[in-house]
């Protein structure tokens, strides 16, 4: 009863602006991913990664570092749309389960999103709470240790991330 129609109209307009900007980013990312795939960048990426090592463990370690770095600078949705077509041929070539890789990808990008210098979630958190960046970093440091351990367990013990996918009947 306290909300007026003018407040509802303003909230809807703000929501439309926010969704519009997100959709514009996703649309541009999808177009860019299509161009990369069309130009054969995925095949070249697979060749490059396979020339470094044919070990799934080495590939997953490289991808962990790459995705955390990408997550620091790029929105997670845009990174998924651009990088998935580039990395999936290598994932299939090395025999890595796509569900396991997808969970790892999202986990890595999430870690990157809370990490400086441009972590989107980090900036949103600091902005909404009014916390300074140095205080944020001091408080989140123990969580980085827990996230790193969890990431390594998820990376090197695929049944952990596949338990639900294997449990649900298709």
CB contact at 8 A, 155 and 60: yes
Confidence of residue 170 (pLDDT cuts 50, 70, 90): low
Handedness of CA 122, 123, 126, 129 (dihedral sign): negative
Say if residue 53's pLDDT is above 90. Answer: no
pLDDT tens, 105-161? 999 999 998 888 777 788 888 888 888 988 988 999 999 999 999 999 999 998 888
Question: Residues near 54 by Cβ (< 8 Å), separated by ≥ 6?
Answer: 94
Compute the average pLDDT of residues 31-45: 82
CB contact at 8 A, 25 and 75: yes
Compute the average pLDDT of residues 95-110: 93
> Which pLDDT value is given to residue 28?
83
> Which pLDDT value is given to residue 22?
75
Question: Residues near 131 by Cβ (< 8 Å), separated by ≥ 6?
Answer: 125, 139
Q: 101-115: string of b/e by CB count within 10 Å (b at 16+)? A: bbbbbebbbbbbbbb
The 8-class DSSP code of residue 74 comes to S
> Which pLDDT value is given to residue 18?
78
The two structure tokens encoding residue 21: 């900007």
pLDDT tens, 58-96? 999 999 999 999 888 888 888 898 888 889 989 999 999
Q: Do you know the residue count of the chain? A: 170
């Amino acid at each position: 009863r306290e909300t007026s129609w003018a407040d509802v109209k303003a909230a809807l307009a703000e929501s439309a602006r926010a969704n519009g900007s997100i959709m514009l980013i996703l649309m541009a990312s999808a177009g860019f991913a299509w161009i990369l795939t069309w130009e054969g960048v995925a095949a070249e990426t697979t060749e490059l990664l396979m020339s470094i090592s044919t070990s799934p463990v080495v590939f997953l370690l490289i991808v962990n570092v790459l995705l955390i770095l990408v997550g620091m600078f790029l929105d997670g949705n845009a990174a998924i749309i651009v990088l998935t077509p580039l990395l999936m041929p290598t994932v299939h070539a090395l025999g890595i389960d796509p569900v396991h890789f997808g969970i790892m990808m999202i986990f890595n990008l999430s870690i990157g999103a809370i990490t400086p210098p441009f972590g989107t979630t980090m900036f949103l958190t600091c902005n909404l709470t009014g916390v300074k960046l140095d205080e944020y970093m001091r408080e989140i440091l123990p969580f980085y240790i827990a996230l790193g351990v969890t990431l390594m367990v998820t990376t090197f013990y695929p049944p952990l991330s596949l338990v639900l996918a294997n449990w649900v009947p298709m």
